[in-house]
Amino acid sequence: MRPCRRLFLHLPCLLAVTGVGAGLLVTGCGVREEMCLPGHYQVLAVNDFGGDCIRDGEEPPAGWARYPKGKVPRYVGDEWDRYWSTRTLDENGRIVALPN
């Protein structure tokens, strides 16, 4: 079999592999990193920057609070993760700007 004919037989496979590779590069693989492991929920530092994950069923320790309902970040870099990067909760549960 001539070399050109062999290449022609493998061309559909080569195109498919190239297309998949290009798709992964363009989309960044589409992987979204969750904030907490399964069985855990996120808490926010009160009057401070930062967050942590607590086991489901446990209450947040002193100095930590649950995020307000509907404003919980789920993935790294999502809308609420960016929102809370400049805000926190005060000791009364009000949303305030992060202290300098």
Tell me: the pLDDT tens digits for 15-41?
Answer: 554 555 555 444 556 788 999 999 999
pLDDT of residue 78: 96
- With vertex at residue 49, the alpha carbon angle to CA 48 and CA 51, rounded to the nearest 5 degrees, is 110
CB-CB neighbours of 88 under 10 Å? 21
- CA–CA distance, 62 with 18 (Å, rounded to integer): 53
Residue 9 — pLDDT band, cuts 50, 70, 90? low
pLDDT of residue 29: 61
Tell me: the pLDDT tens digits for 48-61?
Answer: 999 999 999 999 99
- CA–CA distance, 45 with 65 (Å, rounded to integer): 6
- With vertex at residue 37, the alpha carbon angle to CA 79 and CA 63, rounded to the nearest 5 degrees, is 70
Tell me: the pLDDT tens digits for 75-98?
Answer: 999 999 999 999 999 999 999 999
- CA–CA distance, 80 with 51 (Å, rounded to integer): 12
* Structure tokens given for 17: 């592999």
